[in-house]
Amino acid sequence: MTEVNNPQAASNVAIYSVYTDLELMRDIAKTCVRCDLARTRTQVVFGEGPYLPPGEIGVMLLGEAPGEDEDKQGRPFVGRSGKLLNTLLEEAGLKRDTIWVTNTNKCRPVLIDGKSVKNRAPTPPEQKACEIWWQNEIELLKPQIVVCLGATAAKKILENKNFMITKDRGKWFPGPKNTEVLVTFHPSYVMRQQGQALVEIKETVVGDFREVISRLAALRAGTAPLHPWQKPANPPDGDDGQLAMF
């Protein structure tokens, strides 16, 4: 526990590669200095959700990075986009307090121009420096499904620089640690739409969340059909193509 107050602890491979306690990992992450975002942040914004045994949280939401409100409060998705996210989740029937919500980067990336401070996307080196945190969140929580909010998170977790959300949104992909990944629009992108486009994109995101709920229920019931990349382990004669591993 003494490592929690050591700013270098977050850079110690021997420590972060063997985390077994999510709350301890969160406390150590608060002092992370693995990239230059440590210089401009107010505080680290770690993931949020119920601290349950591995596998009991079925869904992890993975966004891009904290914004201004998140940087101030130290919690993910609490600003305007977070409020919209909560509304879309509720409409789909997915309760936020039953899932894990996090970002690929735990510190707010900013663009400082004189007295103006604006949000920006994290750079590849910043994402690389921060990946150990969400990787360990997945390792410790063992969710069945990861929902990427936006293309930035999708490109990182899928290791696919060519990912296009306009083409690949709503599709299922193989994720790390045997997770299944679905990508939908980021709430901040949804908020930038107007008129009928706003109505339609909200319906699209809600539909994606409902697809996640349906898939999770099927996975837990053992009735989920196989994705193209999945193969049943030692399928018996007459196998019906359903997953037996979940």
Token pair recorded at residue 135: 């990787």
Q: Cβ(147)–Cβ(112) under 8 Å? A: no
Question: Which pLDDT belongs to residue 233?
Answer: 61
183 near 61, Cβ under 8 Å?
no
Quote the pLDDT of residue 117. Answer: 87
Domains along the sequence of the chain with CATH: 2-221 (3.40.470.10)
Q: pLDDT at position 28, please? A: 87
pLDDT at res. 115 = 81
pLDDT at 1: 34
In sequence order, which residues have a C-beta less than 8 Å from that of residue 183 and are 6 or more positions away?
147, 148, 150, 151, 153, 154, 163, 165, 168, 169, 170, 171, 173
Each of the 246 residues of the chain gets a pLDDT tens digit; together they read 334 344 454 555 444 444 568 888 898 899 999 999 999 999 999 999 998 888 999 999 999 999 999 999 999 999 999 999 999 999 999 999 999 999 999 999 999 888 888 999 999 999 999 999 999 999 999 999 999 999 999 999 999 989 999 999 999 999 999 999 999 999 999 999 999 999 999 999 999 999 999 999 999 999 999 999 987 666 555 555 444 333
The answer to whether 22 and 141 have CB atoms below 8 angstroms apart is: yes
Helix, strand or coil, per DSSP, at residue 104 = coil
Cα–Cα nearest to 100, from 157, 41, 56: 56
Q: Helices then strands (H, E): number in the chain?
A: 9, 7
241: exposed, middle or buried (Cβ count in 10 Å: 0-12, 13-18, 19+): exposed
How many angstroms separate the CA atoms of 78 and 62, rounded?
A: 14
Instruction: Supply 180's token pair.
Output: 């299944």
What is the end-to-end Cα distance of the chain in Å, rounded?
Answer: 35
Cα 10 to Cα 6: distance, rounded to the nearest angstrom: 8
Helix residue spans in the chain (DSSP H): 13-16, 22-29, 68-73, 80-92, 124-141, 151-158, 165-168, 187-191, 195-221
